[in-house]
Amino acid sequence: MKEAASTTIRQIYRQPGEYYDKKVSLSGWIRNNRNSKAFGFIELNDGSFFKTLQIVFESENLENFKDIAKLGVGTAILVEGVLVETPNARQPFEIKASSIQVEGSSPSEYPLQKKRHSFEFLRTIAHLRPRTNTFSAVFRVRSLLSYAIHQFFREREFVYVHTPIITGSDAEGAGEMFHVTTLDLKNAPLTEKGEIDFSKDFFGRETNLTVSGQLTAEAYALAFRNVYTFGPTFRAENSNTARHAAEFWMIEPEMAFADLQDDMELAEDMVKYIFEYVLQHAPEEMEFFNSFIDKGLLERLENVITSEFGRITYTEAVEILMKNNDNFSYKVEWGIDLQTEHERYLTEEIFKKPVFVINYPKEIKAFYMRLNDDNKTVAAMDLLVPGIGEIIGGSQREERLDFLDQRIQELGMKEEDYWWYRDLRKYGGTRHAGFGLGFERAIMYMTGMSNIRDVIPFPRTPNSAEF
């Protein structure tokens, strides 16, 4: 067996001058193989780069020409040859092969073809779909976007906090939770009341998968000033939509000595920064999305990066929306939660760019959001973007213990469940603020992909956890 090649197709595309008329050795997978009697062409993808490199093979140079000509899509091969310029052809250069060896064959039942497949079909072969153009582009962008987020916060000296995945708090309040247990479900210990006795469970109490790292991130913000979390999040909601998954990733920055204005500035800076980063570092992938997935994509992203995001209060938004009530299936009035149709009208028709809606009625928002002086609204903000709707939700947190306790009481929650969260207010509490960005929603917005199942390698949704 020959050694695997040291040259990558990415290196060749980035600096072709270094390789012209020189012998290189490559390794990769066949995307397409077409040939006639005495010569043939292989489109080779080696995983390092979005585009393929064309390999020319001829019967006079290859003693195994007939075998190579029969190789199917997906075959893993080792190639040696010289890189030559092809100024008159569709591709800029190609390899004239002197040797091609098979490392791993790919029989004829290989499900991927050199044609367009539906995303629905590709979801059923999630282990093979990263070998297609679209998913190759999606998951390289996902990786770059992840890196951009870390780089953004590191440049601003934020501390990266690993908040727990398994939480002992059943009070995070952001949605239905997955239980974590080692109890035997068929024979669980019971209390005298006949309920499951979690004191016998692994942790000696009831535990769940986290639905948000926010509450614990607040604890670290009140020590490090500026922190962020970036990790998996779990919601057991029976949500069957293109925008929801049971397992997804979330970015949650939290800043001490910061108010809602600071929060919005951070969100706007972050969105612009990470989008710009990906545009710079994955130009081929972004060009592909713009051509084949979403024709207006690059223009829209450019609009996000260059425009100043709109800002409007909930009350002002309701006034605007009420003028258009005839066209909504859910009529707008002060106090209702905005529906997707309302959010999209605001960002797509009124502002035509991303817009923050702030100061929502306290009744429709979480208990920890800071009460405004009007006693009716809280210092919350949602960032709405064209095409998606809500992509970020955040708020200034209630730092006044007496106000927080009052909300806990009003909502029928128990103070003792929040003993440590209340401590944060008791000892050196400061104004502080943060937000949550759905990582997959950011990817969807960046790529134009319209289903969250197509931006997660192996997505988990109700009734679906294959692989």
Partner RNA sequence: UCCUCAGUAGCUCAAUGGCAGAGCAUUCGGCUGUUAACCGAAGGGUUACUGGUUCGAGUCCAGUCUGGGGAGCCA
CB-CB contact of 388 with 440 (8 Å): no
Residue 108 lies near RNA (rule: CB under 7 A): yes
Question: Interaction with RNA in 184-243: which residues (CB under 7 A)?
Answer: 212, 235, 237-243
- Selected range binding RNA among 198-206, 223-231, 260-268, 338-346, rule: CB under 7 A: 338-346
CB burial class (10 A; 0-12, 13-18, 19+) of residue 59?
Answer: middle
- Interface residue with RNA among 1, 17, 36, 155 (CB under 7 A) is 36
Q: Which is nearer to RNA, 169 or 212 (CB)?
A: 212
Q: How far is the CB of 199 from RNA (least distance, A)?
A: 30
Single-letter code of the amino acid located at 453: R
Q: How far is the CB of 329 from RNA (least distance, A)?
A: 8
Count, residues near RNA per rule CB under 7 A: 68
52 Cβ partners below 8 Å, 6+ apart?
A: 9, 31, 32, 43, 44, 45
- The bridge status of strand 166-167 relative to strand 23-35 is unpaired
362 Cβ partners below 8 Å, 6+ apart?
A: 369, 371, 376, 377, 378, 407
Q: Which is nearer to RNA, 248 or 418 (CB)?
A: 248
Structure token digits, residue 449: 């992909």
Residue 123 lies near RNA (rule: CB under 7 A): yes
| Per-residue contact flags (x/-) with RNA for residues 260 to 299, judged by CB under 7 A | ----------------------------------------
| Per-residue contact flags (x/-) with RNA for residues 137 to 176, judged by CB under 7 A | -------------------------------------xx-
Interatomic CA distance for residues 455 and 452, integer angstroms: 5
Residue 28 lies near RNA (rule: CB under 7 A): no
The half-sphere exposure of 397 on its side-chain side, counting CA atoms within 13 A, is: 27
Q: Closest by alpha carbon to 464, among 170, 238, 131? A: 238
Residue 305 lies near RNA (rule: CB under 7 A): no
Q: What is the DSSP letter of 369?
A: B
Residue 463 lies near RNA (rule: CB under 7 A): yes
Residue 91 lies near RNA (rule: CB under 7 A): yes
Residue 397 lies near RNA (rule: CB under 7 A): no
Q: What angle do CA 210, 273, 345 make, to 5 degrees?
A: 75
DSSP conformation letters of 411-441: TT--GGGGHHHHHHHHTT---EEEEEEEHHH
Question: Interaction with RNA in 43-62: which residues (CB under 7 A)?
Answer: 43, 54, 56
CB-CB contact of 237 with 244 (8 Å): yes
- Interface residue with RNA among 81, 389, 429, 448 (CB under 7 A) is 389
Q: Which is nearer to RNA, 389 or 429 (CB)?
A: 389
List residues near RNA by CB under 7 A: 32, 34-39, 41, 43, 54, 56, 70, 72-73, 86, 89-91, 94, 96, 108, 111, 113-118, 120-121, 123, 174-175, 212, 235, 237-246, 248, 250, 330, 337, 339-341, 389-393, 436-438, 440-441, 450-453, 463-464
